[in-house]
Amino acid sequence: MDDNRPELHLHMSSKLVGQEGAERAFLDAYNDDKLQHAWLISGPKGVGKATLAYKVACFMLASSAEGTSAGASLFGDAISPDSLTVDDNNPVKQRIISGSHGDLMVINRSVNVKTGKLRNDIVVDDVRKLSKFYSQTASEGGWRVAIIDAADEMNINAANALLKNLEEPPEKALLLLVSHAPGRLLPTIRSRCRQLALKPLGDDAVVDILRSQYPALNDSDYKTLAALSGGAPGRALELAEGDGLGLYGRITSLMMTLPRLDIPALHQLADSLASIKADSDYRLFRALFQDIMQRLIRFSATGQVAPAALIAENQLFETLGPTRGVDQWLDLWEKMAEQFTSADAVNLDRKQILLTCFGKLAGRA
């Protein structure tokens, strides 16, 4: 049942890299006593949004715990903190990691009790827990912090249920929304939050992180992973862990065979991704494939070539790019995205989806 705990731990233990600007913005609001009650943390997947949210939560809860025990400072204002980092030995941090801090509520996709499976979206009952959390006083006496990870996963009913809490938050309550695509959120939610956009990191920074976690890879692998991650260290680590490089190689070599598609290779790939066990591989594939398509479209629209680490893609662009106009590419891209989404929503056969996508590429290529 403790499905979100490893993830929680990951966010609590990861070092947030390259987001000093965002941290500063939050600290400034905190120190100026102008802390907004709701923050929308946006940015590409894996850039560190949830890590920042947990860091902020830990900071708020740890500093309010200090505040209540020490009381007001005898000599005027206490010193304003200049970092969000909380010492690892802080008991508050310990309790957050074990999931037992009464003043932190994390809302993410819950397990459907009837089927025993993780739901595809955050449902209204999950969000209603927040109302109950906000309706009672804080258990440790300070701030109450709620994290919604990720806000994009809320279905429409859940999003509407959240509005009530966003409009009339109680005192000393902080709501952190993590969002990969803030544009897709309800405008009423967006307008009630202060936005904090996390920027993608430079390739060098991502390579450094990769090097510290996976010391055994070689330089060109680091560079490829960094380029594929689009500046999001979390994605780079995910790719490194799930053999994203191998998968990327298979996708590109398969695409190279276009327009005469290598059917046996395609079936082999689709079979290996369609099984239930290969869920994470399938997700990796989906992200990688969509990224390649994106770069392809960008190439055919602007002539922008692939980053140096992904040099192999250029050949692909040159053969495939001119075969159709930008509008046709965009149309295709949209259809594919739609297909992937509907496949998840109604549990369509994943193999079939793959075959269709490549078929479409080949059909007109």
Partner 1 sequence: MRVAHSTVLKQCSGQWIRPNFIDRGEVIPAQVLGAILCTLKNPAQDSQRHKYEEERQIMKFTIERNSLLKTLNHVQSVVERRNTIPILSNVMLEASDDMVAFTATDLDIAVIENTPANVAVKGSITVPAHTLHDIVRKLPDGAEVELSLAEGERLTVKAGRSRFQLACLPKEDFPVMSAGDLPHRFKLMSEELKRLIDKARFAISTEETRYYLNGIYLHVAEGDSGSNLRAVATDGHRLAQVEQEMPDGAMGMPGVILPRKTVGEVRKLVDEFEGGVDISLSDTKVRFTFDSTTVISKLIDGTFPDYTRVIPIGNDKMLEMDCKVFAEAVDRVSTISSDKTRSVKLSMDSDVLTLSVTSPDSGTATEEVVAGYQADALEIGFNSRYLLDILQQIEGDSVQVQLADPQSPTILQDQLDEAALYVLMPMRV
Residue 162 near partner 1 by CB under 8 A: no
∠ CA(214), CA(90), CA(75), 5° rounding?
A: 130
Name which position in 20, 68, 181, 325 contacts partner 1 (CB under 8 A).
Answer: 68
Residue 333 near partner 1 by CB under 8 A: no
Residue 82 near partner 1 by CB under 8 A: no
Residue 134 near partner 1 by CB under 8 A: yes
Q: Which residues pair with 41 in a beta bridge?
A: 178, 196
Q: Which pairs with CB-CB distance under 8 Å and at least 24 residues apart come from 256-263?
A: 256/315, 256/316, 256/319, 258/319, 258/320, 258/361, 258/362, 258/365, 259/323, 259/362, 259/365, 260/362, 261/358, 261/359, 261/361, 261/362
Q: How many CA atoms lie within 13 A of 151 on its CB side?
A: 33
Residue 88 near partner 1 by CB under 8 A: yes
Beta strand pairing status for 104-107 and 38-42?
A: unpaired
The DSSP output letter for 141 is: S
Residue 280 near partner 1 by CB under 8 A: no
Residue 268 near partner 1 by CB under 8 A: no
Size of the site for partner 1 (CB under 8 A): 38
Name which position in 45, 128, 190, 298 contacts partner 1 (CB under 8 A).
Answer: 128
Instruction: Give me the least distance between CB of 264 and partner 1, in Å please.
Output: 37
Dihedral of alpha carbons 116, 121, 125, 130, sign: positive
Residues from 213 through 252 that contact partner 1 (CB under 8 A):
213
Three-state DSSP class for 42?
strand
Residue 64 near partner 1 by CB under 8 A: no
Instruction: Using the minimum distance from each CB to partner 1, give the nearer residue, 87 or 327.
Output: 87
Residue 116 near partner 1 by CB under 8 A: no
Dihedral of alpha carbons 246, 252, 255, 261, sign: negative
Instruction: Give me the least distance between CB of 4 and partner 1, in Å please.
Output: 8
Name which position in 73, 80, 112, 212 contacts partner 1 (CB under 8 A).
Answer: 212
Interface stretch with partner 1, choices 2-10, 271-279, 286-294, 309-317 (CB under 8 A): 2-10
* Phi, psi of 312, deg, nearest 5: -60, -30
Residue 265 near partner 1 by CB under 8 A: no
Interface stretch with partner 1, choices 89-97, 150-158, 188-196, 219-227 (CB under 8 A): 89-97
Residue 73 near partner 1 by CB under 8 A: no
Instruction: Using the minimum distance from each CB to partner 1, give the nearer residue, 111 or 181.
Output: 111
Residue 119 near partner 1 by CB under 8 A: no
Residue 315 near partner 1 by CB under 8 A: no
In contact, 284 and 238? CB cutoff 8 Å = yes
Token match 């398509």: residue?
Answer: 293
Residue 67 near partner 1 by CB under 8 A: no
Name which position in 73, 83, 112, 131 contacts partner 1 (CB under 8 A).
Answer: 131
Q: What is the side-by-side order of every strand in the sheet holding 194-197? A: 104-107, 144-149, 173-179, 38-42, 194-197
Instruction: Using the minimum distance from each CB to partner 1, give the nearer residue, 110 or 155.
Output: 110
Report d(CA 58, CA 49) in Å as an integer. 14
Which residues lie near partner 1 (CB under 8 A)? 1-6, 9-10, 12-15, 68, 88-89, 91, 94-95, 97-102, 128, 131-132, 134-141, 170, 212-213
